[in-house]
Amino acid sequence: MANNKDLKYTEDHDWVEKTGHRAKVGITDYAQKELGDIVFVELPAEGEEFSKGEDLVVVESVKSVSNVKAPVSGTVTEVNDRLEGEPELINESPWKDGWLVELDVENEKEFEELMSEDDYEEFSAE
């Protein structure tokens, strides 16, 4: 599994990278492989607020349509506009170029509730 040690993870196979009060969100390598070729991404608008667990991003692949839920509560501060014309970036580079959104985190404790890499790898192996 190609994961990154500095990230946190959700049970929905999303990753979160925290920098200060910001959290960059994407889907894991495992998730993009399960989805198959991604053909469309619907991103939220900057400034939109989301509570943890609310639908944040829609990812459409040749196999299905999936909702990425907000892993933490916050306000969208940036979206990866490149995905609108190049949704395949999620397949090609889920950790770097294929990130989805960045949130200004409302509640730091929610970030602490996410899984570590070791916990995520154990969860994914089940």
Q: Using CA atoms of 87, 42, 50, 32 in order, give the dihedral in degrees to the nearest 10.
A: -40
Q: Which amino acid is at 125?
A: A
Task: Tell whether the torsion through CA atoms of 43, 67, 51 and 122 is positive or negative.
Answer: negative
* Across 59-76, average pLDDT: 96
For the chain, list the domains and their CATH numbers.
12-125 (2.40.50.100)
Residue-level pLDDT at 14: 96
Distance of CA 88 to the CA centre of its chain: 15
Segment 31-44, tens digit of pLDDT = 999 999 999 999 99
pLDDT of 3 above 80: no
pTM of the model: 0.92
| pLDDT tens readout for residues 102-121 | 999 999 899 889 999 999 99
CA 31, distance to chain mean position in Å, is 10
